[in-house]
Structure 1
């Protein structure tokens, strides 16, 4: 008997058989990759990823011998022997990387090629007595190249398959080693129940809204979003001025679109943590804390309160590993770094972007220096992975020439330019050069005022001049999340007095 994972029992009665682990991971990875018609590659990667554990050396390691054993190269060497170069190269990358991360191709001195040319590996041939290798030699990726860039399409496909394998491997290992933790996964309310919650919330909100022209326009925006949700998955733009109700209208689009086309989840990608916190609070109020993941560097699930606080916190922590939750609210950095990372922890979640609705809020803030690769990745998700992307902003970025005709966004709003005059709420006046003392005097004349300057030092100087007032608050990005939240609560309490 060969084993994949051990326990404290010396008689090995509850150790996990290696064959079971390989078949489990193959089935899970195949299910994940079926979302983009890659189930045969997914199954093969799961079946072969750990065949290096068939070596006597690895089995001795499980018995307690203190030795290091390379078990992730064996499967990659084997697929190079079994399959043609087109199939084997994809599998070589994802199998060698399933612990340490995706490798560059490199050369004989480093990278993937160096790994596969290593002269000695422990004998793993015993796998042939338990594992039947599937025939992939007639299998080809089902891909449509965007902008004729098949190379990028293949690399993205490899990364998505890598995500399927590493998540499947983690999940099966967790199910064996930590069954209590594993049992908490996937316990979210189905989207038909979330749809009902949203419908009830919006009916109440719309029925109690004041009868005035601006609310009529907000309702029209909301209804147009629901109307356009009937269109097939593709890239959309949603151009709505500030104050037009983008957050709830875009969620209405996402929910109706997901329901119409049987999609899997909704992701909000936002540049600023402050906006993320606001949107996540709204979504938690509507859908319940357990169905919404707020994922960014400042977020701590321990701060969430619900009827079953401890369980909810653990569920949210687990969902941050692979984004299997119905609604994810995250940052541009978290989203795009994951799309281009080679790290296992970052890539693990990627397969759950397939057949999803992805809302890019404040899309004008996409990093211009990385705009082309960002748009290329989004286009791949739309064209080859069944996802819908919504570029949502008050001021649409100029994407002319950066997107293929097959993914040019369809505008959701019929006449977005007419809305700008309707929602105009700001008057801009140039005061010219003004000293800090004069500016402080002007600020002190207002009951409520927001002052934005370019530098922290300038903000500190102004704050010191204003600090004689009891109702002055200074927030900056260097504050810890807890202290920042405390100051925000103080600010809200005092302004409502």
Structure 2
């Protein structure tokens, strides 16, 4: 098996990470996240392995070496080329894998720069542009995917076009709204990208439930510490002076994980000039 270490996911300025390593890191991270969040682990791994495989294209590789030499008006979205390999996953998994890949950088439709897959399909020969030299680079993509443990077969240009047309039909028929699969892939991709140039992926440290018992402390000096935090509603708004015990109260309101500074788990407003009693509102 050949991992083609010369094929890059990121330019030298951004870490000089080879595509094989990036796909492995994203897949490993996606697997852990899927297990903890109740997603199908196989679909998560398949989407992660395919999400950037279009970067094998020489058009993309050249853009990493000479980013300023792109022809005016030319557009290459690697995620579109990645979807040419959709038929490597079973039919039942394809829609979820499309959700993971198709918009992990740009919205599929009405992107602000009109670079979504449906935008480009309307305004250009999108498949032709993204499949340039496909027979010359698709076998490299297959080698990399095979090295990562994926079951593969040769993808012809005709099969790639069928996959592309399936994606267009799926996206055309999709209702507006968010996709949990897209969120999973983006979370895994962002985490892997942030960690892979400096450390080994800390997968064994993900999703460890913290011990927040320290914040159950009570004192009359901190009025909020005497108020029960038990409530099944999801969001909390606290308005109170400095020193009232907002941090302890809000951490007692957290369930499971605590994200950075708790600001993603709670909404906190602080006004040092306030002198009235603390006000707590727990909302849906």
> TM-score category by the smaller chain?
0.5 to 0.7
Partner of 1:76: 83
Specify the SS of the correspondent of 1:69.
Answer: coil
In the aligned structure 1, how far is the partner of 2:27 from the partner of 2:125? 22
Classify the secondary structure of the residue corresponding to 1:5. coil
**1:184-241: CA deviations, max 9, x gaps?**
xx8999532x1x224333xx56xx99xxxxxxxxxxxxxxxxxxxxxxxxxxxxxxxx
Which residue does 2:104 correspond to in 1? 98
Query: What do residues 273-305 of structure 1 show as CA deviations (whole Å, max 9, x unaligned)?
Result: xx34449974413577xx98xxxxxxxxxxxxx
Corresponding residue for residue 470 of structure 1: none
Q: Determine if the alignment matches structure 1 residue 169 to structure 2 residue 189.
A: yes
| SS state at 1:492 partner | coil
Cα distance change, pair 76–197 in 1 and its aligned pair in 2 (3 A): same
1:131 aligns with 2:94: no
Specify whether residues 25 and 284 from structure 1 end up closer, same or farther in structure 2 by C-alpha distance, changes over 3 A only: same
**Corresponding position: 1:120 with 2:122:** no
Partner of 1:28: 29
In the alignment, is residue 284 of structure 1 matched against residue 247 of structure 2? yes
State the partner residue of 2:118: 110
- Note if contact 1:77-1:92 (Cα within 8 Å) is conserved in structure 2: no
Match of 2:94 in 1: 88
Q: Which runs of 5+ in 2 are unaligned?
A: 1-5, 111-116, 153-173, 255-259, 277-284
Distance 1:88 1:116, change over 3 A: farther
Greater length-normalized contact order (CA 8 Å, ≥ 6 residues apart):
2
Query: Once the 2 structures are TM-superposed, how far is the Cα of residue 40 of structure 1 from its aligned partner?
Result: 1.0
1:72–1:95: 8 Å Cα contact kept in structure 2? yes
Residues 355-434 of structure 1: matches in 2 within 5 Å?
Answer: none
Distance 1:78 1:131, change over 3 A: same
SS at match of 1:130: helix
Distance 1:103 1:277, change over 3 A: farther
State the number of aligned residues: 220
**Equivalent of 1:199 in 204, 216, 219:** 216
Q: Which residue of 2 aligns with 1:447?
A: none
Distance in 2 separating the partners of 1:253 and 1:103: 40
1:6 aligns with 2:14: no
2:55 counterpart residue number: 53
Gaps spanning 5+ residues in structure 1: where? 137-153, 210-244, 255-266, 293-314, 332-480
Answer whether contact 1:76 1:93 (CA < 8 A) is retained. no
* 1:131-167 deviation digits (Å, cap 9, x = unpaired): 126469xxxxxxxxxxxxxxxxx98998111111001
Which structure has the bigger radius of gyration? 1
Q: Counterpart of 1:72 in 2: which secondary structure? A: helix
Q: Specify whether residues 171 and 200 from structure 1 end up closer, same or farther in structure 2 by C-alpha distance, changes over 3 A only.
A: same
